[in-house]
Structure 1
Amino acid sequence: MKARSDELQIFVCVIECGSISAAAEQVGQTPSAVSRTLSRLEAKLDTTLINRTTRRMDLTEEGKYFFEQAKRILDQMEELEERLSSRQQTPSGRLRINAASPFMLHAIVPHIDEFRRLYPDIQLELNSNDLIIDLLEQSTDIAIRIGTLADSTLHARSLGCSPLRILASPAYLKQHGTPKAVTDLVAHTLIGFTQHESLNHWPLQHAHGDRWQIQPAISASSGDTVRLLALAGQGICCLSHFMTIDDIRAGRLVVLLDKANTGYRQPINAVYYRNSQLALRIQCFLDFIQGKLADYASSDFRG
């Protein structure tokens, strides 16, 4: 006998949920029924997919391979059904998006209301993670990452780029003065990052090059923490325009040394696993957010 799609769905659900009981609740069956489905599937395939004990479940090597293929098959089936349903008239279904916290908070969340008005049948699941994730393990459709991508087997789509700005609050500048030249920064309190040393190389032209390496007096792991420190008047920072555009417009942060800025823009990419044409709901979101990023990139503020 051949495996059925409903058996594949239950198997994938068990792996994604992490337990038979959690999967049973999600699919509306009893744990014993789910367990029987797994046993029936293993019998059909004549192999063990999951090593199960009373405390944990572990995928066998065959199980890992089968999970990847089953997930791909189910995704293709879902995409086919979506595209054939009423000739693609309405994008629908669950859309799982992962992005670094600053991008999620400043470039996605503010536009969710508009997106949901445009596509009311798409169910959004938003997750934040500042680290590179395994899309398969995290059950993610799209991961949005800022900066140059490492070589990867994932597909990537460029969504645009975002300028980096040197910024400080009016309160800080009133107390400590405004730097007029890049070399003036050595006399100021600088806010940097604890991770990713490249973030402490600011895109400023000076006598010895076009990257100014700072020695931060205050360091943080999160861009949002750096932003809040700058807003509180604690020092000068370098942040992406997408997360500070509203602060600049409102006068909460002031752009500094803009003439010395090299104009470097951080690339923003969406990465995904699909090998075929993108599902309609994914395509709609990427087109939507790309338009919003184009608005950010076209905004120009001079210090």
Structure 2
Amino acid sequence: MLDIGALIAFVTVTETGSFSTAAQQLGQTPSGVSRTVSRLEKALGMTLMHRTTRRLDLTAEGAWLLERARRVLAEMADTEAQAAARRGHPAGLVRVNAATPALDHLVAPLVADFLDAYPQVSLELTSGETVVDLIEEKVDVAIRIGILPDSSLNARLLGRSRVRVLAAPAYLERHGRPATPADLARHRLLGFTAPASLNTWPLRDGSQEGVLARPQVTASSGETLRHLALCGAGIVSLSDFLTGADVASGRLVPLLEEAALPWTQPVWAVFYKQGALAPRVAALVEFLARRLAGVLET
């Protein structure tokens, strides 16, 4: 393998025309620089320059190497400059994966501000209701809601979102308002197909904490359940990050608040990390943590 230091010495000697001048620039002795160039010639098996007391003349092989060495050193300098620039100004593509509700309600509203702050970063957003393999799918950051399984991935807690039992005014007008958790058995309930734990609602029924809902309609996506609830299809239990604006506007109404338990769902930024996190990825994670602090509970 070629020694980069030897290439630097060779180029410097050639450009200055003198071992002594090159040595001054490199902070070495003339004899040390001469030995370095000689080792380069030996490693390549060719004579690079003819030395006399008055001048140095490149051989044809030396001229050939000089051209290539200059390109190599220029590429190295450019790489170092770009690396420094990326540290100060993150750049490149960040691939983000999240379930549709998290993508639509937590990430998408912040995209414009993030791109204004980091104009050299581009985003690729993908949604799905199943957990993907970050490495296999080449995902940089995944937004996950709920308890994380043990894994080799790293995670940053972005905040927590309160879970509430809700219904639309139109549904309540037609079917009445449940007065106790036991009344839910006489109502049309909306729930998740999986995992089953999401159908345990944050309600206290006597000494029992958590009421197992038996939904008549199930869906894999919280966003679908939200739309069903808004259409008056039934009663649902969803996180504030998904329904906060609906509650504020009166489109959905919290129910059974006297029996409600203060359950929350953690919201995570999950990423694979070996060594330092890429600046573009770190920028997005930090941005989400900072901005979602005003949306989620800490």
| TM-score normalized by the length of structure 1 | 0.68
C-alpha contact (below 8 Å) 2:89/2:120 kept by paired residues: yes
C-alpha contact (below 8 Å) 1:83/1:280 kept by paired residues: no
Counterpart-to-counterpart distance in 1, 2:234 and 2:222 = 14
Where does residue 266 of structure 1 map in the other structure?
Answer: 265
Decide whether aligned partners of structure 1 residues 87 and 141 sit closer, same or farther in structure 2, where only a CA change above 3 A counts. closer
Between the two proteins, the alignment pairs up a number of residues equal to: 222
Counterpart-to-counterpart distance in 2, 1:163 and 1:121 = 35
Within 5 Å, give how 1:129-208 maps onto structure 2: 129-208=128-207
Structure 2, unpaired ranges of 5+: 3-78
Where does residue 85 of structure 1 map in the other structure?
Answer: 84
> Could you give the per-residue CA deviations for residues 153-187 of structure 1, whole angstroms, max 9, x where no partner exists?
11122111111111110111122222222222122
> Could you give the per-residue CA deviations for residues 188-223 of structure 1, whole angstroms, max 9, x where no partner exists?
111111121001100111114211001111111111
Q: Tell me, what secondary structure is at the counterpart of 2:206?
A: coil
Structure 1, unpaired ranges of 5+: 3-79
Where does residue 5 of structure 2 map in the other structure?
Answer: none
Where does residue 225 of structure 2 map in the other structure?
Answer: 226
Where does residue 103 of structure 1 map in the other structure?
Answer: 102
The one-letter amino acid paired with 2:245 is: D
Where does residue 112 of structure 1 map in the other structure?
Answer: 111
Q: Tell me, what secondary structure is at the counterpart of 2:204?
A: coil
The one-letter amino acid paired with 2:153 is: L
Counterpart-to-counterpart distance in 2, 1:103 and 1:81 = 37
Matched, 1:250 2:278: no
C-alpha contact (below 8 Å) 1:160/1:268 kept by paired residues: yes
Alpha-carbon offset, residue 105 of structure 1:
1.1
Alpha-carbon offset, residue 253 of structure 1:
0.7
> Could you give the per-residue CA deviations for residues 61-95 of structure 1, whole angstroms, max 9, x where no partner exists?
xxxxxxxxxxxxxxxxxxx9698423832121111
Counterpart-to-counterpart distance in 2, 1:156 and 1:83 = 28
Where does residue 286 of structure 2 map in the other structure?
Answer: 287
The one-letter amino acid paired with 2:105 is: H
Decide whether aligned partners of structure 1 residues 82 and 218 sit closer, same or farther in structure 2, where only a CA change above 3 A counts. farther
Counterpart-to-counterpart distance in 2, 1:92 and 1:262 = 44
C-alpha contact (below 8 Å) 2:129/2:220 kept by paired residues: no
C-alpha contact (below 8 Å) 1:201/1:214 kept by paired residues: yes
Counterpart-to-counterpart distance in 2, 1:86 and 1:132 = 34
Q: Return the index of the structure with the highest Cα Rg.
A: 2
Counterpart-to-counterpart distance in 1, 2:82 and 2:275 = 13
Decide whether aligned partners of structure 1 residues 279 and 87 sit closer, same or farther in structure 2, where only a CA change above 3 A counts. closer
C-alpha contact (below 8 Å) 1:82/1:92 kept by paired residues: no
Alpha-carbon offset, residue 227 of structure 1:
0.6
Alpha-carbon offset, residue 122 of structure 1:
0.6
Decide whether aligned partners of structure 1 residues 194 and 170 sit closer, same or farther in structure 2, where only a CA change above 3 A counts. same
The one-letter amino acid paired with 1:111 is: L
Where does residue 94 of structure 1 map in the other structure?
Answer: 93
Q: Tell me, what secondary structure is at the counterpart of 1:266?
A: strand
| TM-score normalized by the length of structure 2 | 0.70
Where does residue 60 of structure 2 map in the other structure?
Answer: none
Where does residue 275 of structure 2 map in the other structure?
Answer: 276
